[in-house]
Structure 1
Amino acid sequence: MKHLQAAKAVVRAFYEELDAPGTDLETVLIRHTAADYLWRGFHPFNELTDATDVARRFWKPLRQSLTSLQRREDIFFAGRNQMDGFQGTWVVSMGHLMGLFDAPFLGIPSAGKIVMLRYCEFHRVENGKIAQTAMYFDLPHLMEQAGITAFPRQTAAQLVQPGPMTHDGLLFEAQPEQEGEATLAVINQMIGDLGQWDNDLSLEDELRQTWCEDMLWWGPTGIGATYTIPRYAQQHSGLFRAAFSDRSKTTHTARLAEGAYGGFAGWPNFTARLSGDFMGRPATNEIGEFRVIDIYRRKGDKLAENWIFIDLLHFWKGQGYDVLQQLNDGKFT
């Protein structure tokens, strides 16, 4: 357990410096990351391989746009990575980056009002440094707060999403090892169920194998949040399965759990063919990539809450719909 606590301390020290007002962002990134640092972020940032680039291309513009920035963290945990035989150690942070939207960001107009950007980060910690980061953030969520609707036919609810109902997601202290094992086991069972789109169970009964009946699914803007198994099946899962075919096997960069919390990140997690209408847009019959982070809270032997980050801007750009280009061309009013 000591290695997990040490890794958490690395990330907490990084955040303490990164989030301080007036900090030298380049210096902080260089100090806390490895020489061969790999940073993966949602479109349009994608892969960056230099800490200075991460500071200059992502953090500086974000801090200039969202002034008085605060990290409002809801979930924090660490674990060994199942995907490399439990050799690597990763630390996960999820919540909102809150600030005053005082200058445009990526063409998203500012309004001088408080905004909250959903984020989730997976950090691989090695030799006391952050060696790799998956930094996923919901840009359509920020757009909605600025009055821009890129995906008008959302099937679930548009919300500024809360943290866990139990308010116990910040695992700064060590957790019983068996609790993390139980969480990872049900996540793995759920992933196995997801790969069986042609089984004999109804969708609702398939979900009931690993989900609480009153599950909460906190989805990305463009899809939305939904509550209970029947509404999740109606407002997202059933629609997704109807719209896509030729889904590839699921692959993850990291999959881990600690206590009642766990999750995974992929680059991409899977590919699928858009063979039906989805999110108000027509079928293209093209294969698309899904870059996803999922975070889960376990209750008993089932999953109770799920926070999802999907790089919808990357997916739709691959389908011929470039949201940020449309925005900068003045197509949204």
Structure 2
Amino acid sequence: MTDFQTSKSLILNFYDKLDKATGDGIHKVLAAYTTDNYHWRGMHPFYEQQGATAVANIFWQPFRQAFAPIQRRQDVFMAGLNQEDGEQTEWVCSMGHLMGLFDQDWLDIPATGKMAFLRYVEFNRVTDGKISETALFCDVISVIYQAGLNPLPPQTGAFFITPGPRTHDGLLFDPQDPSETLKTRNLISQMVDDLTTADLHSDQEELASTWHDDMIWFGPAGIGATYTLERYEAQHQGPFYEGLTDIKFHGHICYMTEGKYGGFFGWANLSMKASGGFMGMPASDVRAEMRVVDIYRRDGDKLAENWIFIDLLHFLRMQGLDVLGRMKELNRRS
């Protein structure tokens, strides 16, 4: 049995040092905790980077210059073996918000001088006591909304600062019961198998076999959150499959579970064509990618909550809509 405590301690110490560091100190922390061949994945406009210097320069230093001081407010923290590679690699996942005072423009999003929350989820692969691989998904569009701008059509779900688990038990700092981990893994796998069998679109009756009726789907800004199976079908799954066609599933890079929690990410998990109507985009034959994270909480024998991150900026840019370009143009005009 693996308890993952060493890897968890490594990541918690890394976060403590990283969140306190400033300026060039950010690079020094990254260099101390990562391998020489460190591979980092981020959402648009950051994409894939190699090594601590590039990650500090491209993401962390500009973000920390714009948001300071920072608080990391974790809602889920877990570790596990990767089911996608036959449990050959060990990963630690953290989900929550990075909160700070938004005092300088970031990605051409105008600063507000007020507190702002960057919703994030991060997967870190630990190899021989260092971080060898990271996937950091963050909800940039939510920051745009917090700045009082709305560059996208009205979303089908609700937008707000996304809460953590209803049960407030998502921070798995201590070892978890392996039998609970297995239950979660089997349930998530069954749900994914059901979706795959149904061409990635289950009806409400099929969904009810693995989801509680009062489930909550916390989608990314631009799509929004929805509550109950009925409203999930009406406010997300229905519009998703009405607006997108030729959807192909490409698998995940990491799929892990611990205790009553689990999740996965892909690069890209899905590709599809926008037949029209989804997020206000016109019909198109362009095949676009969706890089997606799903984090789940199991309650008994069904899933109760689901937090989703999608690189919508990349998805829309592949179809010709550069949302951050709009921010730059707005700043230029003002």
> Which category describes the TM-score, using the shorter chain as reference length?
over 0.9
Give the fraction of aligned pairs with identical amino acids, expressed as a percent. Answer: 50
In structure 1, distance between residues paired with 2:48 and 2:77: 24
Post-superposition shift, 1:120?
Answer: 0.1
SS for the counterpart of 1:209 is coil
Structure 2 partner of 1:208: 208
Q: Could you tell me whether the CA contact under 8 Å between 2:33 and 2:131 is conserved in 1?
A: yes
Q: Secondary structure at the match of 1:272?
A: strand
> In the aligned structure 2, how far is the partner of 1:152 from the partner of 1:268?
24
- The residue aligned with 1:155 is 156
1:4-32 alpha-carbon deviations (Å, 9 max, x no partner): 11111111111111011547101100000
What are the Cα deviations for residues 224-260 of structure 1, in whole angstroms up to 9, with x where unaligned?
0000000000000111111112111241000010000
Partner of 1:228: 228
SS of 1:268's equivalent? coil
1:136 counterpart residue number: 137
What is the CA–CA distance in structure 2 between the aligned matches of 1:150 and 1:125, rounded to whole Å?
A: 38
Looking at structure 1, the residues matched to 317 and 40 of structure 2 have their Cα atoms a distance apart, in angstroms, of 21
Secondary structure, counterpart of 1:110 in structure 2: coil
Note if contact 1:223-1:279 (Cα within 8 Å) is conserved in structure 2.
Answer: yes
TM normalised by structure 1 equals: 0.96
1:134 shift after superposition: 0.3
Residues 203 and 238, structure 1, Cα contact 8 Å, conserved in 2: no
Cα contact 1:211–1:302 (8 A) shared by 2: yes
Aligned amino acid, residue 308 of structure 2: I
Post-superposition Cα deviations, 1:78-111, rounded to whole Å, max 9, x if no partner, equal: 0000000011100000000000000000000001
**Matching residue of 1:115:** 116
SS at match of 2:280: coil
Shift of 1:285: 2.3
In 2, Cα distance between equivalents of 1:150 and 1:229: 29
**Equivalent AA in structure 2 for residue 154 of structure 1:** Q
User: 242-251 vs 162-171, which deviates more?
Assistant: 242-251
1:238 alignment partner in structure 2: 238
Q: CA deviation at 1:206?
A: 1.6
Equivalenced residue count is 332
Q: 2:133 aligns to what SS in structure 1?
A: strand
Corresponding position: 1:319 with 2:319: yes
Equivalent AA in structure 2 for residue 84 of structure 1: D
Instruction: Please state whether the residue corresponding to 1:18 is helix, strand or coil.
Output: helix
Give the letter aligned to residue 292 of structure 2.
V
* Partner secondary structure for residue 329 of structure 1: helix
Alignment of 1:29-44 (within 5 A): 29-44=30-45
Checking the alignment, whether the CA contact within 8 Å between 2:212 and 2:302 is kept in structure 1 is: yes
Specify the code of the residue in structure 2 equivalent to 1:108. Answer: I
Q: CA deviation at 1:145?
A: 0.2
Q: Provide the secondary structure at the position in 2 that maps to 1:321.
A: coil
Structure 2 spans left out of the alignment, 5+ residues: none
AA in 2 matched with 1:121: E
Q: CA RMSD in A?
A: 1.6
Aligned to 1:248: 248
Q: Does 1:164 align with 2:165?
A: yes
Q: Which residue of 2 aligns with 1:263?
A: 263
Give the letter for the 1:82 counterpart.
Q
For 1:264 and 1:188, the matched residues in 2 are separated by 11
The reply on whether 1:293 has 2:293 as its aligned counterpart is: yes
C-alpha contact (below 8 Å) 1:218/1:224 kept by paired residues = yes
Provide the rounded CA distance (Å) in 2 between the counterparts of 1:127 and 1:8: 13
Q: Deviations over 1:187-213 (max 9, x none)?
A: 1111112223469x9711121111110
Whether the aligned pair in 2 keeps the contact of 1:21 and 1:68 (CA below 8 Å) is no
Is the partner of 1:43 in helix, strand or coil?
A: coil
Between the aligned partners of 1:264 and 1:196, the Cα distance in structure 2 is: 19
2:305 maps to: 305
Contact 2:243–2:278 (CA under 8 A) maintained in structure 1: yes
C-alpha distance in 2, partners of 1:300/1:3?
Answer: 22
